[in-house]
Amino acid sequence: MSFSTIVKTAIVVLILYAGWEVTKPFIDRYVLTKEVENIATYATVNTRERAEKEFVSRVTNKGGVKDKIVNSPIIIEKNEHNNTATAILKYKDKIEIFGFLIKEYEFHIEHTAARVDKKF
> Alpha-carbon distance 111 to 38, whole Å?
9
The pLDDT tens digits of the residues spanning 98-120 come to 889 999 999 999 999 998 776 65
> Alpha-carbon distance 21 to 2, whole Å?
29
Amino acid at 117: D
Neighbours of 42 (CB within 10 A): 19
The three-class DSSP label of residue 62 is coil
pTM for this one? Answer: 0.82
Give pLDDT, residue 7: 94
Domain ranges of the chain: 3-114
- Which H or E run includes 42? helix 3-43
